Amino acid sequence: MITSISNARLRAVRSLLDRSRARREEKAFVVEGIRMFREIPQDRLVETYLSESFHKKNPEIQGEIVKDDIFKKLSDTTNPQGVLAVVRQKQYSVSDLADSGHGLFLILEGIQDPGNLGTMVRTGEAAGLSGVIMDRKTVDIYSPKVVRSTMGAIFRVPFVYTENLSETIHEMKNAGVRFYAAHLDGKKSYSEIDYAPKTAFMIGNEGNGLSDEITQLADEKLIIPMKGQVESLNAAVSASILMYKYAEKHF
């Protein structure tokens, strides 16, 4: 049983929780909670840590036992459930996404809120999303808050971070993908558009929206009509509305 938070293995886990650089270098991330634990593909499971009390109630789950008070210090959650796992990241390429048959994609520029990104991935899976492409300014999808927000969808929805979003968009256009920018200057309502079989919705930063550079690459700008005095919708809400509108025809 591990009885000290200074244990080398626990320090490594804590580093994966706290530092995106560590996650990139180790090509691994951390999953917490019994529901998420059960979603982990077995070929990607690296190691498991269980609190002493959790292990007593769930003896069938194998892992390294950690003293309860130490597990609480290790966990990223306020009320840990008692199970935590290190998981291998899965690598995808843009061509993996773009070469699929029919496809629904999200193009994300500068999304900062972990809950927004996690919600987009989770809702995207439900709407038949083929993949997510993000610029490097977008929050780390392997951060603990994003991982929890995906509710397991992170294991099933392909995604790619790109160093040059403009070049990646051009690459996907060459593969037959049509791009629609969610934009306040859009002339058509999202409900008036006959979406192409290969469709990508472009969603920008929560505060600033899409940059002019990326907006100019859209085949069409669209708007989600709003009443009242609301200036804009939450990024994840906008993405969800658009993905389900596409799904009405292509589900």
For the segment 30-78, what is each residue's pLDDT rounded down to a tens digit? Answer: 999 999 999 999 999 999 999 999 999 999 999 999 999 999 999 999 8
End-to-end CA distance of the chain: 49
**pLDDT at residue 89, rounded to an integer:** 97
Closest CA to 22 of 7, 12, 8, 31: 12
Query: If pLDDT is split at 50, 70 and 90, which confidence band does 229 have?
Result: confident
Specify which of 19-33, 180-194, 222-236 reaches the highest per-range mean pLDDT: 19-33
Confidence band of 205 (pLDDT split at 50, 70, 90)? very high
Helix (H) or strand (E) holding 88: strand 83-88
pLDDT band for position 100 (cuts 50, 70, 90): low
Locate tokens 């899965």: which residue?
90
Q: What is the pLDDT of residue 101?
A: 57
- Domain residue ranges in the chain: 8-88, 94-250
Q: List beta partners, residue 28.
A: 88
Please determine, looking at this structure, whether the domain spanning 94-250 carries the CATH number 3.40.1280.10.
yes
Question: Which pLDDT belongs to residue 102?
Answer: 66
Q: Residue 251: pLDDT above 80?
A: no
The CATH code that applies to domain 8-88 is: 3.30.1330.30
The pTM (predicted TM-score) of the whole model is: 0.92
Q: What are phi and psi of 47, to 5 degrees?
A: -160, 155
Cα separation, 170 vs 113, whole angstroms: 27
